[in-house]
Chain A
Amino acid sequence: MVVDKVDNALRLTAVDRAASAVGLSVDMTLADARARVPGLVAKPADAEADRALLERIADWCDRYTPFVACHPPRALLLDITGGADLFGGEMALLSEVRARLAQQGFAVRGAIAGGTAAARALARYADGAIAPPGEDEAFVVALPVEALETEPATWSAFRRAGLKTVGQVAGRRRGELAARFGADLVFALDRILGRAETPLSPRLPVPSYRTEHRFAEPILTEELVLATLRDLASRLGKIMETHGEGARRLEAAFFRSDGAVRRIVVDMGAPTRTPAIVERLLREKLSALTGPLDPGFGYDVIRLAALKAERVTQGPHAEREVGVLVDRLAARFGGAHLVTFRPNDTHRPEAAAVAVPAQGAGSSTLEWTRIRGDGEAPRRPLRMFARPEPVEVIAEVPEGPPVQFRWRRALHAVAFAEGPERIAMEWWQGADGEPTRDYFRVEDSEGRRFWLYRSGLYARETTTPQWFMHGVFA
C-alpha cells in the first residue's frame, strides 16, 4: 500500500488486495491504519514514477489501437472503434488485454462502452462490463453516484438526499440539478449517459493511414520483418492511392511480445506511396540505425502508419526522381546531413549562404548576387572555414596588404595582392562591437589564392590588427 500527504495528514492513496482484505481503504489516515493493522508496510507515493509506468503500459496498449489516451493516475482509454474484429470481437479483446496485463503483474479492471466517461465508470464499478452500442445508459444507471465525475461533496449531498445511483440522479430534472450543483454536474451526467462526449485526446499523433500485421507466433528473423514491411508498404500504398494521397512522414512500429515498442520514423520531401520506394526508405533507415532492432523473443505486431499525408501532385519526372534519391539519402544519413544552399541578404560573408535540409526545401524568394564584375576573378573563395584561422602577417604598412604570411606553420610569399574589400559587421545582425574587416585576395608563389582579412581598422578601431584566413580560392 502507498501513502501520500493529503490535507497535511499522511493518507493511504492505494491499497493492494491483502490490505483491503483486512479492512484498509483509500483515504484512511496512516495513523488509523497503523492502529488497525500493526506492523503494516507503507511506501511513499511517487507520482512521477506512476505516470512513467502508466506511459509504458500505454505504449504497450498501442498494439491494440493507435488511439490511446492516458488518464493519470491509473486509467487508460483505448478507442477500439472498428478494430475489435481483428481480435475476435470486443469480449475477446477485453479479456486478452486483461489477461496479458495481469500476466505482467498488474491488477486490472476494464470495461467497454460507447462513451469514454461510461467506460471509465463501468471499469471502476462494474469490472468486465461490455455495453453494446447505444446502451451505455442502461448499464450506468445502476452505478453508485460516486461514478459521476464530480466533487466528493456532491456525492455526499446526493447520498443525504437519498439518491444512491446514477439512475436516480438522472431521474431528477436538469434545471433543478443545475441550479443546485452547477452546470458541470449536468455535463458530467450527460457524459456518463452517453449524451455528451469529450473527445479522446490521444497521447501520440494519430496516423492518417495505417496498416498492420499481427502474428499468432512472434516473428524473429530479419527476412520475415522485411517481408512484412514490404507487404505493409504495398497495402498502405493502395489505401493512400484510393484517397489520392501520399505520406510525408511514415512510422514503422515494432511491438515485441514482451511489451517493448520500437518506432522508426522516415521523412519524405514529397508525398510518397509507391511501395518499392517506401520499402527502400525503411530498409535504408533500418540499416543506418545506431542501435539495431533487437527482436528479443520476437514481434507480435508490426504496424506501418502514415503520420503525415498530403495530396499527391505530379511534378516533372526528373524532379521526382531526384526527390526519391534525396529521401533515401536522408533516411540513411539523417535529413540534416543533406543540404542545399539559399541566398541570405547580408554582408557577412560567412552568412551569405545558408545551408537548409534538401528535403522539402522550397525555392528561395531571394536571388543570388554575384560580386565580381564581368571577366573578373572570383571575389569569394570556393572553400570557406567555419572559423577563420589566425594568421601571422608581415605587411609593409599597417593598413597595407600582406607581403608574407604564416598559416598553419607554413610561410607563404605573396606574389599578388588585391584589396582591401571593406566589410562592416552589421550591428543589427547582432554583430555589435565586432570590428570592421578588410579583406585581401592574395596569390602566393605557387599560384594558390587565399582570402585573408585584417580585423579592425588601423588606428581607429585597433593599434594591433589581427589577421585571419577565411577561405581559399580555386
Chain B
Amino acid sequence: MRPERISERGAALRARLVKAKLTLPEPEHRVPLGLAEADACLQGGLARGALHEVIAEGGHETAATGFAAALAFRMARVKPVLWIRQDFAAAEWGEIAATGLLELGLDPDRLLLLRVAQAADVLRAGADALACGALGAVVLEIVGTPKALDFVASQRLMLAAARAGVPAFLLRFQASVQAGVVETRWHIRSARSAPGAETWGGPRFDATLARNRHGRTGRFLMQWRCDDGVFSVPPNFGAVAAPAFDRPAAAKRA
C-alpha cells in the first residue's frame, strides 16, 4: 500500500476516534486497580473502552499473562473474557490453564479461548470481537513484532474498543515497542517475595507504566490479592522497595 494512503486512512481513523471518545460516558469508564499510587497516575483507574498494551520482559511471559488476566477479568466483571492466542505462544510458554485462573480468583467459566495460528488472525478476530458489546474484555496475545501489528492496526483496535466500551489488552511476548495508539503501555516482570516471608502471598509484579495518554507514567510494585480481586502494595514492601519514579510520556518513547 502506498504511504499516503496509510496516512489518509490514519487521519480518517483518528477523526472517528476523537468522535467516539467524546461520546463515552465519563463516570463508569475508569476501573481502579486498587493500588492508590497507580490509580492516581491513571486519573482514577484504567480506561474501559480503550487499548492497553502489556509487554512481557524477557523470561517473564507468565507474569505478564497474569497481569493481563487480572486486569481483564477485573474490568469485565461478570461478562465473558475472550482470550485470543497464537499457537506458538502456547507451545512456548504453555496453554492458559483454567485451574490457574481459578486459583488467581478469576472465574474460568467466563473464559472463551480462541486458538489461532497467525498474529494477523489474532488482530482480525480481536477487531471483530470488539464490536460485540456483550464481552467484558478481549485479550490479544501476540508473539514478536509482526508486520500486521502496525500503526493502523492498533488504531483500529483502539477505535473498536472505544466504540463498544470494551477494554482490549494487547499482550506481547518477545516484542519490541512500536509506534501505535495505546491508552497505556505496561512493561511487566515478576517481583521477588520478601526474604524470610512465612507464607507466599499472591503474585507480585514489578510493573512499569511506560506510556499513559492521559496522565503520568511510573513504576509500581504490586501484588494481586486473589481473594479480593484487587491489586495492593505488597506487605513487607520496605524490604524490597523499588524506587517509584515519574517520567513524562515522551521520555520512554525516544
Contacts and interface: CB of A to CB of B under 8 A. Distances in A.
B98 A447 contact: no
Contact of A415 (B61, B79, B97, B193): B193
B86 to A, nearest CB: 12
Given A318-B79, A332-B125, A383 B109 contact: no
B231 interface: no
Contact of B134 (A321, A339, A355, A386): A321
Interface size class of chain A, counting residues whose CB lies under 8 Å from the partner chain: 35 or more
Interface in A453-474: 471-474
Nearest to A378: B103
B167 interface: no
B91 to A, nearest CB: 8
A297 interface: no
A282 interface: no
B109 A474 contact: no
B108 interface: yes
Report whether over half of chain B's contact residues are helix, strand or loop; otherwise say mixed: mixed
Interface string B182-216: 00000001111100010111111010000000000
Contacts of B121: 333
Nearest to B192: A447
Interface string B38-76: 000000000000000000000111110111011000000
Interface stretch (A154-162, A228-236, A365-373): A365-373
Interface size class of chain B, counting residues whose CB lies under 8 Å from the partner chain: 35 or more
A341 B109 CA distance: 7
B203 A368 contact: no
Nearest to B124: A332
A384 B102 contact: no
Interface stretch (A63-71, A323-331, A394-402): A323-331
Interface stretch (A78-86, A88-96, A438-446): A438-446
Report whether over half of chain A's contact residues are helix, strand or loop; otherwise say mixed: mixed
Interface in A316-349: 317-319, 321-322, 324-326, 328-329, 332-333, 337-341, 343, 349
B115 interface: yes
B189 to A, nearest CB: 7
Given A368-B102, A382-B97, A448 B79 contact: no
B157 interface: no
A372 B97 contact: no
A339 B60 CA distance: 26
A441 B99 CA distance: 15
Contact of A377 (B109, B132, B202): B202
B76 to A, nearest CB: 12
B99 A329 contact: no
A338 B112 contact: yes
B65 A383 contact: yes
Contact of A474 (B69, B80, B95): B69
Contacts of B98: 341, 343, 352-353, 368
Contacts of A258: none
A379 interface: yes
A164 B36 CA distance: 102
Contacts of B100: 378, 380-384, 471, 473-474
- The list of the 9 closest CB pairs from A to B, nearest first, reads A474-B66, A383-B94, A378-B103, A341-B98, A353-B98, A382-B100, A321-B134, A447-B190, A447-B192
Interface of B: 59-63, 65-67, 69-70, 79-80, 82, 90-91, 93-104, 108-109, 111-116, 121, 125, 128-129, 132-135, 189-193, 197, 199-204, 206, 224, 226-227
Interface of A: 317-319, 321-322, 324-326, 328-329, 332-333, 337-341, 343, 349, 352-353, 355, 358, 364, 368, 370-372, 374-386, 410, 415-416, 418, 441, 443, 445-449, 471-474
Given A341-B111, A379-B103, A382-B100, 14 more contacts: A321-B133, A325-B135, A333-B114, A339-B112, A376-B226, A377-B203, A415-B193, A416-B197, A446-B190, A447-B63, A447-B189, A447-B192, A447-B193, A472-B61
